[in-house]
Chain A
Amino acid sequence: MPPLPSGSPVADAALDAARLRSRARILRAIRRWFDDHGYLEVHTPALVPAGALEPHLEAVQVGPLQLHTSPEFAMKRVLAAGLGRIYQIGPCFREEEAGVHHSREFTMLEWYRAGAGTPELMDEVEALIGAAAKAVGRATPRFVRRSVASLLPHSLDPDEWFFRWVDAVEPTLTAPTIVFDYPDWQAALARRRGHNADRFEVYLGGVELANAFAEELSSVELRRRIQHNNATRRQAGRPPHPVDDRFLAAVDRMPRAAGIALGIDRLVMVLTGATELSQVQVR
């Protein structure tokens, strides 16, 4: 399509055509990378009976259903059905999240690999980000790997831990960094190993891009965590999250696996030198 004449009443000044082209190039490179590494693209519904699990995530309510905050539950059912390398790129929704690095609707890339642990996924996410960077003419980021305990003691109480993380630690993560082994009380759906949750997060350009788990494989353990989360939510005056029984049934059939979710908008933002998500999204 020819570009719109400037000053045309339908021209949209908020749209950055060059960055939208970069976004498409990055997505193409990502799909090619997964194709080259034996991953299958899957699609799971955005409209689901249970869209959130963690205590501080709010799903967008649509009648009796919710829009998913991540495709995690459905993708694990696909994993349990025997597809060992799967990925999905699609919209996710989180209520009450708005800011320069947050928007209520955003694009998430999520992938799962049977038989893998967090070390394999660290290598994969580094390679994938390198491929995305190359697609827009950027140098391959060189990541450092730091344990959470080397940055902040696990022993702090949760409220203080998060405050210090945001206030003092995160601003120092300016180099490309993978942060691993979170305190066990932040396990979410990750398996625990001693006092650590076997999880990692990826920081690029000072922005949190991705979150990965070595997946917990016991539905009994997950049901207990869900009940604990919902008790916390009730105390805070929040409604409990609905429980997805099909997901919990699938967990017991899941192979050992690791999974990771990466915010596409944030990746495009950092790789195109933008400072706000709105510069790389059509809003």
Chain B
Amino acid sequence: MAHKYDTSDFRNGLKIVIDGNPYIMTYFQFVKPGKGTAFTRTKLKNMITGSVLERTYRTGEKVEAADIEDHTMQFLYEDGEFHHFMNTETFEQVAIPSDGIKDEAAYLTESLEVDVLFFNGRPISVQLPNFIVDVIEYCEPGVRGNTATGATKPATLACGATVQVPLFVEQGETIKVDTRTNAYASRVK
């Protein structure tokens, strides 16, 4: 019997099964119409296809927990359809459909170590390190004397990802980025 969660267990990042597919909860909201009982409104991302589902649950309703395992693996290459990874201990290689990891793919560089997620033994997705450090390959030059707080400009990293950085950050500098939010964290000397 699979493990179940009920609505009081709901939180961002919860992994559940709907119609045989694994979903990760990206949003949940307590809702209570004036004269009625309480519900929880959720947004769930399909961990294989990346598509987003909106679902409403009655308070106390149960959902099936997804059996997700993760293994640390190295990114090898992508062939247009799949991203390939290798377990550095067993040298086992796995391929994940590229469609399901569009958000993560921008940060994948050769030999980057990531957690590959397996659903019922099948590789479906990757979890990036929370922070990565990379060189800015291109951005507009900073404007001297512009000290406006909060102003940003786009910067393209060597890995291919584009992030917003403060105006004082220059091309060629190395920065730290939070991969969960695509947010600039700091400069790295």
Contact = CB atoms under 8 A, between A and B. Distances in A.
Interface of A: 54, 56, 96-102, 158-159, 161-163, 165-167, 170-171, 182, 186, 188, 201, 208, 211
Nearest to A161: B36
B20 interface: no
A101 B30 contact: yes
Given A163-B58, A166-B41, A166-B56, A158 B36 contact: yes
A162 B29 contact: no
B33 A165 contact: yes
B30 A98 contact: yes
A116 to B, nearest CB: 20
Given A56-B35, A166-B36, A170-B31, 11 more contacts: A54-B35, A97-B38, A99-B29, A99-B31, A101-B31, A161-B36, A162-B33, A166-B31, A166-B41, A167-B56, A186-B35
Contacts of A161: 36
A149 to B, nearest CB: 16
Contacts of A159: 37, 58
Contact of B34 (A96, A99, A171, A208): A208
B42 to A, nearest CB: 11
Interface in B15-55: 29-39, 41, 54
Contacts of B38: 56, 96-97
Top 9 closest pairs, chain A to chain B, by CB: A99-B30, A162-B36, A167-B56, A186-B35, A166-B39, A211-B34, A166-B31, A166-B56, A56-B37
Contact of A201 (B30, B34, B39): B34
A163 B34 contact: no
Nearest to B55: A167
A56 B36 contact: yes
Contacts of B34: 201, 208, 211
A173 to B, nearest CB: 12
28 contacts: A54-B35, A56-B32, A56-B35, A56-B37, A56-B38, A96-B38, A97-B38, A99-B29, A100-B29, A101-B29, A101-B30, A101-B31, A102-B30, A102-B32, A158-B36, A162-B36, A162-B39, A163-B39, A166-B31, A166-B36, A166-B41, A167-B41, A170-B31, A171-B54, A182-B35, A186-B35, A188-B35, A208-B34
Nearest to A102: B30
**Main SS at interface, chain A:** mixed
Nearest to B29: A100
Contacts of A201: 34
Contacts of B54: 171
Contact of B32 (A97, A167, A171, A182): A97
B11 to A, nearest CB: 12
Interface residues of B, number: 15
Contacts of A186: 35-36
B40 to A, nearest CB: 8
Nearest to A168: B56
A99 B38 CA distance: 11
B112 to A, nearest CB: 33
B35 A97 contact: no
Contacts of B32: 56, 97, 102
A187 B36 CA distance: 12
A100 B35 contact: no
Nearest to B40: A99
Nearest to B31: A166
Contacts of A54: 35
A165 B30 contact: no
A56 to B, nearest CB: 5
Q: Which of A99, A165, A171 has the most CB of B within 10 A?
A: A99
A166 B38 CA distance: 9
A182 B36 CA distance: 12
A157 to B, nearest CB: 12
